[in-house]
Amino acid sequence: MNMYSVVPNPKATGWLVKLEDVAPEEQYNSEEEAMEAAEKLAKENRPSTIQILNMEHDIVDEITFQ
């Protein structure tokens, strides 16, 4: 299962989408834009899970695509 993370960028304004919590795939201006991109990636690469994290890197939500 692929694991995508949507996380705020602590070094700049914006949100990151990461695959397997490794290198960022892309940076977006808003959480909404990052979520849309992560959902598209997750749907294209099923089965996948998206974890949404806050600034403290706590998981605040998780979505799975089978």
27-51 per-position pLDDT tens digit = 999 999 999 999 999 999 999 999 9
Over 90: is that where the pLDDT of 3 sits?
A: yes
pTM above 0.85, yes or no: yes
Distance CA 12, CA 18 (A): 16
Q: Where are the domains of the chain?
A: 2-65
pLDDT of amino acid 44? 96
CA atoms within 13 A on the CB side of 34: 25
46-66 per-position pLDDT tens digit = 999 999 999 998 999 999 999
pLDDT of amino acid 10? 83
The two structure tokens encoding residue 14: 């914006």
